[in-house]
Structure 1
Amino acid sequence: MRITWLRASLAALALGLAGLLFAWSGAFNVAASSGHWAVTDWFLHWVMRNSVETRSALTSPRDASDPSGLVSAAGHFAAACATCHGAPGIKPSPVFKAATPPAPDLAETAGEWDDRELFWIIDHGVKMTGMPAWPAREREDEIRRMVALVRRLPTMTPEQFAALTGGAARIAPAPGFASCAGCHGEDGRGRGAGDIPILGGQKPAYLLAALRAFQNGTRESAIMGHAAARLSEPEMRQLSLRFAAMPGLSDSARRVADADAARIVLAGLPDRQLPACASCHTPAKPYPVLAGQKAAYIAARLRQMRGDEKEIDARKTQATMPVIARRIPDEMIDRLARYLAGSAAETAQR
């Protein structure tokens, strides 16, 4: 029989209709309990690995790992990831092990990927596997810290993981406090981690507003968004009051000697339309206390705000800090942060 374009087209149409009829009939078994055929499982994993290798090489940053924030990364992993993947000393939930495909044990599989590939997977997730994209799309700093933690999992002991997350030492005299103390510490000082702010001495109204913003997504952070998601309004109020009452930040904290930074804090830079920090960050106004805060945290927050291009004109929005942060000279970010921190310990690290 001679093959013509008409016959080929009709054959393709018939195959397409047969496929639609099969899908419509419900004969295809979508049950997770049925698993995949071995060839299907191989093919899907092969496609996924090729996609990750190619796209991570094109889009992932070269500095894809940041081991300086393992406390916050481990806290988030324990709260949001260990249910599926398990963790050192923590078994995954049997509910999620019954998924198709089940989440991999990262203590065994993390070594199969390089840092840029891990970054891409954590950032974008993987379709049809249950692996979600990172919900805070602008927080590459959080993803870098998570990459560093995942890289450590194969060699991390249960005791080391428990130490990072606060372990059994955490107590819960108030609703939600144990979870918060795992990262922020029972004294509200952030357990020595530069990416975790000091909460002790902060204004309770500001802490409450921050929790609300994390909960409704107006302030981006996958870690804090997850932590705040299930808190009730009374719990957020209670936590804000508890942490604010702890010793820590103070508007009378001793300043380091830096005339240029002092000028920005007290007078601003009129030629750059940069207002003085002290014009807003005072006890009488609802903005956060900065004096005594960790320099590393202040500098990181200013750089995050500089990248928030959604805020263009400070006169047209109440969210003025992205605009203000972009007016701070690049070379002054770290110096300004150290000046505001004002502690001898942070100053000695310059």
Structure 2
Amino acid sequence: MTIRITWKRVVAVLAALFAAGMLFAWSGLFQVAASSGHWKATEWFLHWVMRNSVKTYSYWQTPEDVRDNTGLVSAGGHFKQACASCHGAPGQRPNPVMQRAMPPAPDLAINATQWTDRQLFWILEHGVKYSGMPAWGAAGRPDEVKRMVAFVRRLSTMTPAQYRTLTEAAAGPQVAGLRPGLVESCAGCHGNDGLGRGPDVPVLAGQKAAYLEGALRRYAAGHRASAIMATAAAALSPKEMRLLAGHYAAMPGLRDRALPSTHPLLTAGRRDDQLPACASCHAPGRAYPLIAGQKATYIADRLTNWRGDEKIVDARKPHATMPVIARRIPEAQIDPLAEALAAAR
């Protein structure tokens, strides 16, 4: 007997298959326990889909320049805080509990060599669904992602001693009222002297205590974008934020003084471009942060990233002033302006 295939029968079969699938899902019989693992075919298929997706989207959604080799200290500090427990680190095995995830986080010293820089950038920025790999912890910070790409790329050849050099500082003074190890954790990036151990790590020494405490609060609340600092600040109590701010503010470093006149934007601004002088806000006695003597690389990096935040258009809103002002600074003047401020230390 020949069964005639018609559209109605095809639709009926598809509807029956859909209903059977939904019934199976509703029954709860589908095994979702991580301990059950995947069938080999399922594991291959999911990984195959993921690799193809990363290749496709990284081709269209990543910039050409996706690696910054100058920020290994801050990237290493973030890796130690947020990544090493799952992926392990040079000389450090991953947390056995985290390895019970399905799928378990791969050894990046091996896995990262299988991806291009642009693919690593995309994975770090966007994460991967159903794998436990989160998206980057702060939107609009491609500079942080670029530094992490460079760090992850080094893992295949990094020794335990090199990892410790990047992520740890020598033992420094303790601060009364703070739990053991907290100051050492901060010093891994900021140094025991508060001057920053890398070109992308800002000088905290001498900065205003109120500004530092406010910055920590904003990082912890997600109101200031930085995956690195949000991770560090999230674990701090209000008292710890206050004590840490006072600790760094008391160190010799930045000073509350007039900005130098070595660059016209510092003291004169550009009226035709509605660009006020830096000194109109960052003058002695004002509530704004101290910038004279800050690292040139850090200043230039922040101005460049603020320029890319085109969603903010109203400079009168809280914390929206700098993105608007940064877009008005001629791009060719960012580095000279940053160097003039750094030279004032």
- Between the aligned partners of 1:172 and 1:50, the Cα distance in structure 2 is 50
Q: Does 1:22 align with 2:24?
A: yes
Compute the displacement of 1:336 (Å).
1.0
Equivalent residue for 2:124, pick from 122, 125, 130: 122
What is the aligned partner in structure 1 of residue 309 from structure 2? 308
Residue 278 of structure 1 aligns with an amino acid whose one-letter code is: A
Deviation track 1:23-65 (CA, whole Å, cap 9, x = no partner) reads 1111111100000000000000000001111111111111111
Mean alpha-carbon deviation: is it higher for 19-28 or for 71-80? 19-28
Aligned to 1:180: 186
Q: What residue in structure 2 maps to residue 276 of structure 1?
A: 277
Amino acid paired to 2:186: C
Equivalents in 1 of 2:319, 2:20: separation in Å? 58
For 1:231 and 1:117, locate their aligned partners in 2 and report how far apart those are by CA, in whole Å. 34
Q: If each structure's helix is expressed as a fraction of its own residues, which one has the higher value?
A: 1
Unpaired stretches in structure 1, ≥5 consecutive residues:
345-350
Q: Within 2, Cα distance between the matches of 1:170 and 1:50? A: 48
Aligned CA distance change for structure 1 residues 31 and 195 (closer, same or farther; 3 Å): same
Distance in 1 (CA, whole Å) between partners of 2:229 and 2:289 is: 17
- 1:197 is displaced (CA, Å) by 0.2
Equivalent residues of 1:268, 1:276 under 8 A apart? yes
1:206 aligns with 2:211: yes
More divergent stretch after superposition (315-324 vs 74-83): 315-324
**Which residues of 2 match residues 104-119 of structure 1 at below 5 A?**
104-119=106-121
Query: 1:190 & 1:236 partners in 2: Cα distance?
Result: 18
What amino acid is the match of 1:180?
A: C
Matches within 5 A, 1:286-325: 286-317=287-318, 319-325=320-326
Structure 2 residue runs without a partner (length 5+)? none
- Superposed counterparts of 1:1-350, under 5 Å: 1-166=3-168, 169=171, 173=175, 174-175=178-179, 176-191=182-197, 193-252=198-257, 255=260, 258=262, 261=263, 263-317=264-318, 319-342=320-343
Q: TM-score, normalised by structure 2?
A: 0.94
CA distance in 2, matches of 1:201, 1:331: 30
Q: In the TM superposition, what whole-angstrom CA distance separates every residue of 1:255-277 from its partner, at most 9, and x where no partner exists?
A: 5x84xx1x221122222221121
Distance 1:299 1:238 in 2: 29
Separation of aligned partners in 1, 2:112 and 2:170: 26
Looking at structure 2, the residues matched to 183 and 34 of structure 1 have their Cα atoms a distance apart, in angstroms, of 41
Overall identity of the aligned pairs, in %:
60
Q: Answer with 161-170 or 34-43: which moved more.
A: 161-170
Distance 2:37 2:289 in 1: 52
Q: Determine the C-alpha separation between the residues in 2 that align with 1:150 and 1:67.
A: 11
Preserved CA contact (<8 Å) 1:292 1:342: yes
Paired amino acid for 2:304: R
Give yes or no for contact 1:69–1:194 (8 Å, CA) kept in 2. yes
Is the CA contact 1:253–1:292 (under 8 Å) kept in the aligned structure 2? no
Q: TM-score, normalised by structure 1?
A: 0.93
SS at match of 2:206: coil
| Aligned positions, number | 339
